[in-house]
Structure 1
Amino acid sequence: MVNQLSWKVGGQQGEGIESTGEVFSIALNRLGYYLYGYRHFSSRIKGGHTNNKIRVSTTGVHTITHDLDILVAFDQETIDVNFHELKDGGIVIADAKFKPTIPDNSNVTLYPVPFTEIATELGTSLMKNMVAIGATSAVINIAPAHYQEVVQATYGRKGEQVVLKNMEAIKKGAQYMKEELGYDRTNLYLEKADGKRRMFMIGNDAIALGAIAAGSRFMAAYPITPASEIMEYLIKKLPELGGTVIQTEDEIAACTMAIGANYAGARAFTASAGPGLSLMMESIGLSGMTETPLVIVDTQRGGPSTGLPTKQEQSDIMAMIYGNHGEIPKIVLAPSTVQEAFYDTIEAFNLAEEYQCPVILLSDLQLSLGKQTVEPLEYEKIEIRRGKLLSEELPELENKGYFKRYEVTEDGISPRVLPGMKNGIHHVTGVEHDETGKPSESAQNRQTQMDKRMRKLKHIQFQHAVHRNVKHGDPDLLIIGIISTRGAIEEAMQSLEQDGLKVNHAHIRLLHPFPTKELLPLVEKAKKVVVVEQNATGQLANILKMNVGYQDKIHSVLKYDGNPFLPHEIYTKCKELF
């Protein structure tokens, strides 16, 4: 028996690959197994190779691995593309329809199973994916009955007969595979899980749920991969809570609409990816100049231009800090797990209102779309902070003047009122202005207002600026990462420690303003520092050098081929330094 294994299903896009992985993984999640899944998919709607790799374990897992125990193939291309990942002793379960073949002299067993034939006999070839799930279940010793609840939830709306047929397909697949295996037990029987129910979700769902928990009731957005699921989740949920989602004509409209809603007092936000954020840059400057709270989610993907819309990358780092023209206070958060995505989204809304500036929540495709087991969320931790938003009636202004919306204060944060508040009238403009908002080109006023706005950065507090996994006072190596690389780094650390190296890990969650105070002591004590990131130019490493120094000991481990980091890749690169 094994306590963890890696399973992958592949075929042509539009062939039911996603639903195969969903039914398989959700059933295992409900049995109490921990899972981490990552989909490789094409940017077209139908056609092109796609696969879904899922890691299953009796203990927590936070990344995919380079190896593979079971490959379920709906076409020969799936075998050709993914065979190299299979371990010695691995299994290929393939649709007999395409007469599958595997390389000679490999220590891998091929089981041709008539997925399509069995499904067609039951009424439709579309159920071949359920036959494949059944065949897999026989290999890992999971009874078909454990899929009943998931199949009911997935297909129940189509009628009870459809549910019965899909369950029959799973049973038929399991029975066929058992007969193929005979009395031999495979070495891939899964150990029993603890049976506890945990959430199983993608990062985008956690971000959307975090927005709801933060009190947001309005989202303006334009669909784009890999951010669209945030909008799709809220389209279903917000109307139940008295809120709404508006699909705008473009990202410029989405951003300015969110600014307007925040100015009116709503907690509103937008979400997009790199191309959309490029269009939003002028509006982000408007938020900074008018000191209007704004939350924006950037789910990074491969660029530039259209680039790799469905592939992993972390190349928006510099753009999110320095992309807009001029200088404004801005906060950039970077959660590294699904749980953090939930909590950091809530904190993004709090910080936006407390510091009256744009807050960017920086994700990436792996975190946004990778599905993983999530421990129960602690809702009692949620707090709503609205900063200097005035709620009590204002005193009448002298000479019926304007309210000092941009009053110069020690911390750079001015009192804020909502439109229509008695005695709160003020001017709002994107040009430079005085304390009441009236346009002003005075040199002295310009410097005073600029200094006021920028002072906010000195006072920003974020409790979880850096996730620290620090075991050693004088480490041989400090590994620094951001967003979804955390799981791969932590597994690479374990292997490096087994080799006798002393390794610490720092994962940055507050990208701007940069947490120099937290990182400097860690960098100083390490003999060597490795920055792991998914772009071609070492953007995070360069920011680290700008803020911390020690250029001579900082090394980059980069990957920008569209695929996530695997633990052995980080391990190998780090070992090369010693």
Structure 2
Amino acid sequence: MVNQLSWKVGGQQGEGIEITGEIFATAMNHLGYYLYGYRHFSSRIKGGHTNNKIRVSTTPVRSIQDDLDILVAFDQETIDVNFHELQDEGIVLADAKFKPTIPEGTNVILYAVPFTDIARELGSSLMKNMVAVGASSAILDLETDNYFGIVEQIFGRKGSKVVENNMRAIEKGADFIKSEANGTPSKLKMEPADGTKRMYLIGNDAISLGFLAGGCRFMAAYPITPASEIMEFMIKHLPGYGGTVIQTEDEMAAATMAIGANYGGVRAITASAGPGLSLMMESIGLAGMTETPLVVVDTQRGGPSTGLPTKQEQSDLMAMIYGTHGEIPKVVIAPSTVEEGFYDAVEALNIAEEYQCPVILLSDLQLSLGKQTVDTLDFDRVEVRRGNLELEPDLPKLGKGEYFKRYEVTESGISPRLLPGTKNGVFHVTGVEHDETGKPSEKADNRKKQMDKRLRKLKDLPKYFPTPVATNAKHDTPDLLFIGYISTRGVIEETMSRLENEGIKVNHAHLRLIHPFPTEEVKPLIEKAKKVIVVEHNATAQLANIIKMNVGHADKISSILKYDGTPFLPNEIYQDCMQEVMLHGNS
């Protein structure tokens, strides 16, 4: 019996690859296993190779597994592309229709299963994916009854006959393997799970749920991969809470609509990816100048331009910090797990209102679309904080020509804020430089006062941010300190365990608050380490350079970079680190 395994299904986009993985994973989740899933898909609606790799474990997992135990193939290309991942005595379940072949001289077991023929006998070739699910369940010695509730939930609206046929497809797939294998291969039988019911979410859904719980009631957005699921979630759920979603004509309109809603006192967001964020930059600057709350989600993907729209990358970091022209207060936060996506979405809404500035919630494709097992979310932790917003102030009557000091120069840098239409609260709002009442002003002394006011409001944010740096620091003087952000957390944690087994002392710091940079929290961790390795998905070491700018110690900081569109695997980082140790030692 095994305590974890890796399963992958592949074929042409549009063949039901996603639903095959979804049904398999949901069944394993219902049994109480921990899961981590990642989809490789093409930037087109139909056609092109796609696959869904799912890791199943009796303990929590946060990264893709290096190797592969079971490959379900709907075409020969799936075998050709993914065969190298199969470990010794791995299993290929392939549709007999295309006469599958595997390389000679390998210790891999091939089962040519008539997925399509069995499905056609039951009434539709579309059910071949259900036959594949059944075959997989037989390999793992799972009862097909585990799938009934899932199949009923997915297909129940189509009638009991459809549900019955899909269940029969699963059963026939299992029966075929039991007949061909003369029993179940015991090597891949899973140890029992704990049976605990847990959520199984993509990051985008967790982020959306956080916005909903945090009081967001308006979203304006334009569809773009890999952010579209946030808008789709909000379209489905926000109206039930009195909210509205508008699909705009472009990202510029989306950002300005969200600014307008926030100005009116409604918590509002927008979400996009790199190309859309480029279009939003002027509007983000407007939010900074007018000190209007704005939350923007950037789900990073391969760039530049259209780039690799369905692939993993982390190359927007510099743009999110420095992309706007001029200098404005701006916050960039970065959740590293699905759970953190939920809580950080709430915190982004709070920070935007408390500090009256734009907040970028920085994700990446792996976190946004990767699916993880999630422990029960604690809604008691959700707190709505609206900062200096006065909802029903008793303001003194204004004299002729007087205006409310909306941009009053304060010691904290945060000015009083009112809802438009508040009695005796009239003030100007403009994107040009202005005085305390919002009236345009080009006076040199006023310019300096307003700039200083805006920029000092964030100086203490790292002290109050809940977890600016998530740390795993077991050693006072580690041989190696890993630093990463967003989705690299799981693969770093797994690599740490392997290195510790080699006698290398390793600490880990994962950045949650990127800007303003938490220098005081990061600096002592770097100073104690003999060597620092920053792990990130881009070609120019953007995070490493941000760290060097804010902390120094460039001589001990090096990078492990990956920018081919695929996520890191634990063994890739492990091998790079072991080469470093062999070259320079661990002293």
Between the aligned partners of 1:391 and 1:126, the Cα distance in structure 2 is 56
1:577 to 565, 577, 580: 580
Q: Which residue of 1 aligns with 2:484?
A: 481
Aligned-pair CA distance for 1:244:
1.1
Counterparts of 1:261-300 in structure 2 under 5 Å? 261-300=261-300
Letter in 1 for 2:488: T
> Do residues 94 (structure 1) and 94 (structure 2) align?
yes
> Do residues 324 (structure 1) and 327 (structure 2) align?
no
Between the aligned partners of 1:269 and 1:6, the Cα distance in structure 2 is 37
The alignment's TM-score, normalised by the length of structure 1, stands at 0.99
Q: Which residue of 1 aligns with 2:585?
A: none
Deviations 1:317-344 (A, max 9, x none): 0000000000000000000000000000
Structure 2 SS opposite 1:362 = strand
Q: Which residue of 2 aligns with 1:409?
A: 410
Between the aligned partners of 2:226 and 2:183, the Cα distance in structure 1 is 46
Q: Which residue of 2 aligns with 1:129?
A: 129
Q: Is the 8 A contact 1:394 1:424 kept in 2?
A: no
Deviations 1:341-386 (A, max 9, x none): 0000000000000000000000000000000100000111110000
1:557 to 553, 560, 568: 560
Letter in 2 for 1:99: K
Q: Which residue of 2 aligns with 1:235?
A: 235
Between the aligned partners of 2:395 and 2:192, the Cα distance in structure 1 is 67
Q: Which residue of 2 aligns with 1:472?
A: 475
Between the aligned partners of 2:289 and 2:139, the Cα distance in structure 1 is 61
Letter in 2 for 1:403: F
Between the aligned partners of 2:193 and 2:166, the Cα distance in structure 1 is 25
Aligned-pair CA distance for 1:574:
1.3
Of 176-185 and 384-393, more deviation after overlay is shown by 176-185
Q: Structure 1: which 5+ residue stretches go unaligned? A: none
Structure 2 SS opposite 1:530 = strand
Letter in 2 for 1:534: H
Q: Which residue of 2 aligns with 1:527?
A: 530
Counterparts of 1:361-510 in structure 2 under 5 Å? 361-400=361-400, 401-460=402-461, 461-510=464-513
Between the aligned partners of 2:504 and 2:48, the Cα distance in structure 1 is 43
The alignment's TM-score, normalised by the length of structure 2, stands at 0.98
Letter in 2 for 1:333: I
Q: Which residue of 2 aligns with 1:257?
A: 257
Of 190-199 and 126-135, more deviation after overlay is shown by 190-199
Q: Which residue of 2 aligns with 1:548?
A: 551
Aligned-pair CA distance for 1:19:
0.3
Q: Is the 8 A contact 1:135 1:176 kept in 2?
A: yes
Q: Structure 2: which 5+ residue stretches go unaligned? A: 582-587
Aligned-pair CA distance for 1:221:
0.2
Between the aligned partners of 2:230 and 2:342, the Cα distance in structure 1 is 12
Between the aligned partners of 1:377 and 1:183, the Cα distance in structure 2 is 41
- Equivalent pairs: percent with the same residue? 72
Structure 2 SS opposite 1:209 = helix
Counterparts of 1:295-374 in structure 2 under 5 Å? 295-374=295-374
Between the aligned partners of 1:482 and 1:173, the Cα distance in structure 2 is 42
Q: Which residue of 2 aligns with 1:54?
A: 54
Aligned-pair CA distance for 1:241:
1.0
Aligned-pair CA distance for 1:184:
5.2
Aligned-pair CA distance for 1:573:
1.1
Between the aligned partners of 1:512 and 1:455, the Cα distance in structure 2 is 13
Letter in 1 for 2:85: E
Letter in 2 for 1:427: H
Q: Is the 8 A contact 1:300 1:315 kept in 2?
A: yes
Between the aligned partners of 2:397 and 2:101, the Cα distance in structure 1 is 83
Between the two proteins, the alignment pairs up a number of residues equal to 578
Aligned-pair CA distance for 1:135:
0.2
Deviations 1:395-451 (A, max 9, x none): 224524100000000010000000011111100000000000000000000000000
Q: Which residue of 2 aligns with 1:192?
A: 192
Between the aligned partners of 2:314 and 2:36, the Cα distance in structure 1 is 20
Q: Which residue of 1 aligns with 2:518?
A: 515
Letter in 1 for 2:16: G
Deviations 1:162-211 (A, max 9, x none): 11110000000000110011135331011111111100000000010000
Q: Which residue of 2 aligns with 1:168?
A: 168
Aligned-pair CA distance for 1:394:
2.8
Aligned-pair CA distance for 1:8:
0.2
Structure 2 SS opposite 1:546 = helix
1:568 to 571, 580, 586: 571
Q: Which residue of 2 aligns with 1:79?
A: 79
Q: Is the 8 A contact 1:113 1:176 kept in 2?
A: yes
Of 244-253 and 395-404, more deviation after overlay is shown by 395-404
Q: Is the 8 A contact 1:31 1:196 kept in 2?
A: yes
Q: Which residue of 2 aligns with 1:143?
A: 143
Letter in 1 for 2:475: H
Structure 1 SS opposite 2:390 = coil
Aligned-pair CA distance for 1:66:
1.6
Q: Which residue of 1 aligns with 2:584?
A: none
Q: Is the 8 A contact 1:36 1:61 kept in 2?
A: yes
Between the aligned partners of 1:339 and 1:438, the Cα distance in structure 2 is 44
Between the aligned partners of 1:459 and 1:78, the Cα distance in structure 2 is 52
Q: Is the 8 A contact 2:49 2:77 kept in 1?
A: yes
Between the aligned partners of 2:394 and 2:183, the Cα distance in structure 1 is 82
Letter in 2 for 1:425: V
Q: RMSD of aligned C-alpha atoms?
A: 0.7
Structure 2 SS opposite 1:383 = coil
Structure 1 SS opposite 2:448 = helix
